[in-house]
A and B are shown apart, each in its own frame.
Chain A
Amino acid sequence: EAQVTQNPRYLITVTGKKLTVTCSQNMNHEYMSWYRQDPGLGLRQIYYSMNVEVTDKGDVPEGYKVSRKEKRNFPLILESPSPNQTSLYFCASSYRDRVLPGELFFGEGSRLTVL
């Protein structure tokens, strides 16, 4: 089954304790991206990756890191989480086509609370 898998789905942590949210897709997609969803703000892009070893900042990258060492994985790293990073996080992937945008496939989300 084609899917994007995120872990953990729910996490409560404390300020400053490093954490990683993993994302894996099994569709051989080149493009992967992280979004955060906050009420009334929709989805805002944190980082994205066009392919292995190629990553770039989205609209709200501060406080986050990513890596893309393998095509299927795109972990999101919070080196020193703060309460304003409490949010619902989504990983998404798609085929990369410069002419036409591909459909984004989303994971089920990771709800993070930073105390």
Chain B
Amino acid sequence: AQSVTQLDSQVPVFEEAPVELRCNYSSSVSVYLFWYVQYPNQGLQLLLKYLSGSTLVESINGFEAEFNKSQTSFHLRKPSVHISDTAEYFCAVSDPAAGNKLTFGGGTRVLVKP
């Protein structure tokens, strides 16, 4: 079974500074990868996804993630954060061999300070 590890449970960061959220998954077989974001008191929303093709994927609000198959990682980055990026971020892996079952990491809480 897949497992997903988000190495940092909390990441405090100053506004306009860069941020990187780390995500590693357990299996080296072909998988699909996602980042979901949860703003305070809301449900999760899809931020970006990797299904195939270019290993660098981007979201509309400036986040990007790079799929690294050899390191089984899918780290999320943003070069300059805003206060509005304060949220919890979840990495998730979908395993086609398991009917596309989605497995979530434990989440990383990002607190952007002015």
Contact = CB atoms under 8 A, between A and B. Distances in A.
A106 B105 contact: no
A98 B44 contact: no
Interface residues of B, number: 24
A103 B101 CA distance: 12
A41 B42 CA distance: 18
A4 interface: yes
Contact of A98 (B46, B51, B100, B104): B100
Interface of B: 4, 6, 9, 32, 36, 41-46, 49, 51, 90, 94, 96, 99-102, 104-107
Interface of A: 4, 35, 40-45, 90, 92, 97-101, 103-104, 106-109
6 contacts: A40-B106, A42-B104, A99-B96, A100-B100, A101-B100, A104-B44
